[in-house]
């Protein structure tokens, strides 16, 4: 109820004496940095495959995965607000070394594999737009992302990401305007559980991959850019409420964009019985189906998604290595710089070392499937500990919900890993 009261009444001041209801706008940003991991190239591939093969039937996956993401990301952000430390710092401080170090080193390895997938998505987009070889495109994406991270502050990066997400959203709105969408079927698909024959692998891919380890570390760190005077209990509680609004708003944007991908594929490819197995194939098919500049806009949106998600995966790498050193993230510090550059460069080296880009995406998914349960269990333990969170530790209901979601996501990732190895 405190949350709804804050929406309808004038907000109290946080860091200066005169502030009104628009104070909430100062909190918009951290959630959008996390959202780009929800609309990365890997999600594009899964969503387009879902829509092309099963029409509107699997839209419920986006609704369910968004709810899961809101709960888990909100919990990670709480850790950062209450303790003033990110998930990586808290892991180092509150877990014994023999346990904490493997958690953090495995998380960094996962961030490298995530960077590989995100850079690869941008490289595929450059190949679509300009015919560049994958290796050259990957080098250009990596260089651009490094420049962004080394020359911009939190707030500048947030503005870049907000711009990227806005353009991606507008791109899909344009595509949907051209496509013959069945909105009644879409509405039904969003709220109706359906398991068409042969769809279980795609369902596991979408639900299991929506929560990514690097985003949990990222959110717990970047939310601290909104903090003032943490010794004041009222201010902490206000931040907790306004952070939820930021997370809810941002995740709903992710829900809309992911839904648009499935709807676009359902309205174009499913209606003609055309399955989509590669992003490049989807772009080529859009040209004759929708005409105009639809294929170019699709490729440009993919490039923006690849660049934006590479920025956040690089930041997460720096956040984790800073946490290993017991420091807050600061791109000017050697530990943060090493992690940020290392995550991106290692991802680039992996891309250049593989002959099949699709194989690279499989390797990334396998790495995340192994590491994600480790990060989630660590987060739930820390946020449920009165020693770490004090009076803001998870209550019994919240803890039970988080454990339930952790079990679901871990099971889905293990099943996906098993299916990937078998095939």
Closest CA to 42 of 422, 423, 420, 345: 420
pLDDT in tens, 279-315: 777 777 676 666 667 788 888 989 999 999 999 999 9
Establish if 7 belongs to a structural domain. Answer: no
Is residue 173 very low, low, confident or very high in pLDDT (cuts 50, 70, 90)?
Answer: confident
Q: Is residue 82 part of a domain?
A: yes
Q: Is 372 inside any structural domain?
A: yes
Contacts of 131 (CB under 8 A, 6+ apart): none
Do residues 189 and 57 lie in contact, with contact meaning Cβ atoms separated by under 8 Å? Answer: yes
> Looking at the predicted structure, is the pLDDT value of residue 73 above 50?
yes
If pLDDT is split at 50, 70 and 90, which confidence band does 26 have? low
Alpha-carbon distance of 59 to 248, in angstroms, equals 19
| CATH number, position 99 | 1.20.1740.10
Assess if residue 22 is contained within a domain.
Answer: no
pLDDT-derived band of residue 15, with 50, 70 and 90 as boundaries?
very low
State yes or no: pLDDT of 2 exceeds 50: no
CA distances from 212 to 15, 164, 282 (A): 33, 20, 25
15 occurs within a structural domain = no
Tens of pLDDT, residues 341-351:
999 999 999 99
Report d(CA 104, CA 393) in Å as an integer.
22
Report pTM.
Answer: 0.85
Which are the contacts of 147, defined by CB distance < 8 A and separation ≥ 6? none
> At residue 87, does pLDDT exceed 90?
yes
For the residues 66-93, what does the mean pLDDT come to? 93
Residue 5 lies in a domain: no
363 falls within a domain: yes
Question: What CA–CA distances, in Å, run from 280 to 45, 127, 381?
Answer: 10, 9, 42
Q: From the CB of residue 17, how many other CB atoms can be counted at a distance below 10 Å?
A: 5
The mean pLDDT value of the chain amounts to 84
Count how many domains the chain has: 1
- Residue 9 in any domain: the answer is no
Give residue-wise pLDDT tens across range 102-136: 999 999 999 999 999 899 999 999 999 999 999 99
Tell me the three state secondary structure of residue 19: coil
For residue 44, the enclosing domain spans: 27-422
């Amino acid at each position: 109820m405190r949350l709804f009261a804050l929406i309808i009444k004038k907000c109290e001041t946080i860091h200066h004496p005169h502030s009104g209801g628009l104070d909430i706008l100062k909190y918009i940003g951290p959630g959008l940095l996390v959202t780009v991991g929800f609309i990365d190239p890997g999600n594009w591939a899964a969503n387009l495959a879902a829509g092309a093969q099963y029409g509107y039937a699997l839209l419920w996956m986006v609704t369910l995965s968004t709810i899961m993401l809101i709960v888990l990301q909100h919990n990670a952000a709480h850790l950062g607000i209450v303790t003033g430390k990110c998930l990586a710092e808290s892991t180092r401080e509150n877990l014994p070394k023999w346990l904490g170090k493997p958690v953090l080193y495995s998380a960094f390895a996962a961030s490298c594999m995530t960077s590989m997938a995100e850079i690869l998505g941008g490289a595929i987009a450059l190949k679509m737009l300009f015919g560049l070889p994958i290796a050259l495109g990957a080098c250009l994406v990596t260089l651009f992302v490094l420049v962004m991270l080394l020359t911009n502050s939190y707030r500048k990066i947030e503005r870049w990401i907000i711009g990227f997400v806005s353009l991606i959203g507008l791109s899909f709105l344009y595509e949907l305007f051209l496509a013959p969408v069945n909105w009644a079927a879409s509405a039904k698909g969003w709220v109706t559980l359906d398991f068409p024959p042969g769809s279980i692998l795609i369902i596991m891919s979408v639900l299991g991959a929506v929560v990514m380890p690097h985003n949990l570390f990222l959110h717990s760190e970047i939310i601290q850019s909104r903090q003032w005077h943490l010794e004041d209990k009222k201010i902490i509680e206000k931040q907790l409420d306004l952070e939820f609004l930021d997370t809810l708003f941002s995740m709903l944007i992710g829900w809309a964009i992911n839904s648009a991908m499935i709807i676009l594929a359902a309205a174009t490819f499913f209606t003609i019985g055309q399955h989509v197995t590669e992003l490049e194939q989807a772009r080529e098919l859009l040209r004759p189906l929708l005409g105009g500049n639809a294929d170019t806009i699709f490729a440009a949106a993919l490039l923006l998604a690849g660049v934006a998600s590479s920025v956040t995966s690089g930041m997460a790498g720096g956040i984790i290595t800073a946490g290993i050193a017991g420091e807050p993230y600061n791109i000017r510090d050697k530990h943060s710089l090493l992690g940020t550059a290392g995550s991106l460069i290692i991802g680039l080296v992996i891309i250049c070392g593989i002959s099949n880009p699709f194989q690279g995406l499989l390797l990334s998914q396998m790495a995340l499937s192994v590491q994600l349960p480790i990060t989630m269990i660590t987060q739930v333990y820390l946020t449920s500990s009165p020693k770490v969170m004090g009076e803001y530790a998870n209550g019994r209901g919240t803890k039970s919900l988080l454990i339930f979601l952790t079990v679901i996501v871990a099971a889905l990732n293990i099943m996906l890993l098993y299916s990937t190895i078998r095939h």
